[in-house]
Chains A and B, each alone.
Chain A
């Protein structure tokens, strides 16, 4: 794991000095993160990179994971989908399953830290164990248009928290507690984002039988309907009519996502007969993701809904031109026509990809602007700073705080 000092060449000494100043103000406080999976998905990835750095700053933080069976995760996946606005029926039985597992976790988990930091809906009910300490609910998903029944169910827990955190202003709800905007981040020193030697990139392409004889369009995402992999194939087909190119759809599934296998089958079926579509099932191999992104000419993120869309930040950090849907946290990362292209449809995505492939100078400029935007706003050091400010805000309700 990287040490804080290693970030100085990327963000500058003074940023690290500020982190140390803040950490000093948190001396003596204990922090406990809780989420639902230790691997797979953006939340686990951020926590695994962030926890050692926060410890390196001298802040006493630990990370625990709730337990749950297949049934529980099927229910929470359903919650996830309907909170994103997808129509699915949620039954009384689903709420019972959720509460049954939650009760077990409430009984078995220690929740005595000064600041309890609960991520997403799966562990939300743990707040029923609150006893004099501070609790934060961190919502990583797009709840701009949530299913009313599930949101009201969650509200019974949310109101017991001291603060809530969302990734985009459009996710804000009318709440009786304070709510903050904190975007997630990428780690420039992780295997997924560090610089790679050309030989490593070539080796990964060779492994998957990809030849760089035509432009590469790539979407890196879990195989999840909300990432619209089928729509990506449609957009690619529109481009392919005019530009001979190839498409990489690469990703894995998370431990808490039982639906992934079905989606993969549908994608394979749709891609049948086109040898220029490469469907790659990666099992948590970050170097390979990094290499595929760096080998790409255009990166696409055609999500229908998105909590934040960290793959966009990853691509921009590699100075790649990106075409992405105008949903969730993506417009925070891409200023249209300045640091990437935003789209609202399959046709729009296809058109934007053609523009970029036909204008490499423009594509390069967008990518370079994107990298600077990520450096200033979406690296892990900014994220750690805001989390520490959030912790301090629990003890300082005023709008101008003198520390």
Chain B
């Protein structure tokens, strides 16, 4: 049974804790905004497109990413806000790819809506660029088979799930999320790996994501 099949190598759960580092860079207009998006470190792009996942983990659906929120709520450019919120992050395997898409979206909008360049944020409502500093720590939780794995999934922190699903794929530029990689590589279950990989984790809360993965694995164990 898949439940007890021993993995070629164990899965050690890590956790990812983060600190927000301030850059002192701020934008008041869309032109400044797009210029800075091109220049800031990748860790800024990562921070502003992922912060909401952890900070508003109880909200469903979650608020949009920071870029979309500022453009809609502060500058009142709802259409651009919608365009930015609906960028499919899963399509990008690198931060630089995601950055290019965000930049292109804003520049195209400015080309078609030149009046938007005149909008500016009032004092105190500027966009402040923040970087994300990640600290990755191995936990004591190690799985040797799928049964262990699902039991651990039920009790590890949401930060650990976040790390293996989001950070590993985009920020550390691994080809897939860590769970799918291990399930395919060490347990040889490509079907299950693909099923987990096919989720769009950006449109659900982290707790929903945890429950979904647990549900799929438990179903697989019973098959």
Give residues in A with beta carbon < 8 Å to B.
12-15, 17-18, 21-22, 25, 144-145, 166, 169-170, 172-175, 178-182, 326-327, 335, 372-373, 376-377, 385-386, 389-390, 392-393, 396, 399-403
Contact = CB atoms under 8 A, between A and B. Distances in A.
A385 B130 contact: no
A327 B137 CA distance: 36
Contacts of A386: 19
Interface string B159-174: 1100000000001100
A402 B58 CA distance: 28
Interface string B1-20: 00000000000000101111
B24 A170 contact: no
B50 interface: no
B15 A21 contact: yes
B41 to A, nearest CB: 7
A399 B155 CA distance: 28
Contacts of B41: 399
B21 A178 contact: yes
A13 B140 CA distance: 14
Given A175-B24, A181-B130, A399-B133, 9 more contacts: A12-B157, A18-B159, A21-B137, A179-B24, A180-B20, A335-B63, A396-B135, A399-B134, A401-B133
Contacts of B156: 14
A180 B47 CA distance: 13
A389 B19 contact: yes
A50 to B, nearest CB: 17
Given A166-B22, A179-B21, A390-B19, A21 B124 contact: no
B24 A401 contact: no
A400 B17 CA distance: 10
Contacts of B132: 399
A376 B58 contact: yes
A376 B157 CA distance: 12
B130 A169 contact: yes
A15 B23 contact: no
A173 B22 CA distance: 9
Contacts of B128: 169-170, 172
Contact of B134 (A14, A182, A401): A401
Contacts of A401: 133-136
Interface size class, chain B: 35 or more
Ordered nearest first, which 8 A-B pairs have the shortest CB separation?
A169-B128, A172-B22, A14-B157, A181-B20, A174-B24, A179-B22, A372-B58, A389-B19
Interface in B75-128: 123-124, 126, 128
B137 A403 contact: yes
B211 interface: no
Contacts of B22: 166, 169, 172, 179-181
11 contacts: A18-B137, A18-B159, A144-B124, A169-B128, A172-B23, A174-B24, A182-B19, A373-B56, A399-B131, A399-B133, A401-B136
Contacts of A175: 24
B43 interface: yes
Nearest to B54: A376
Nearest to A24: B137
B144 to A, nearest CB: 20
A180 B55 contact: no
Given A181-B20, A376-B57, A400-B171, A326 B124 contact: yes
B20 A385 contact: no
B24 A172 contact: yes
Contacts of B131: 399
B139 interface: yes
Given A172-B23, A172-B128, A179-B21, A18 B157 contact: yes
Contact of B19 (A25, A173, A377, A393): A393
A393 B24 CA distance: 18
Contacts of A181: 19-22, 130
B15 A18 contact: yes
B136 A402 contact: yes
A93 B22 CA distance: 34
B120 to A, nearest CB: 16
Nearest to A326: B124
A232 to B, nearest CB: 21
Contacts of A169: 20, 22, 128, 130
A283 to B, nearest CB: 34
B124 A392 contact: no
A393 B159 CA distance: 19
B136 A399 contact: no
A386 B19 CA distance: 6
B24 A173 contact: yes
A271 B31 CA distance: 49
Contacts of B21: 178-181
Given A22-B17, A179-B24, A373 B137 contact: no
Contacts of B20: 169, 180-182
Contacts of A21: 15, 137, 139
Nearest to A164: B22
A389 B171 contact: no
Contacts of A377: 55
A18 B17 CA distance: 9
A151 to B, nearest CB: 13
A182 B19 CA distance: 8
Interface in B19-73: 19-24, 26, 41, 43, 55-58, 63
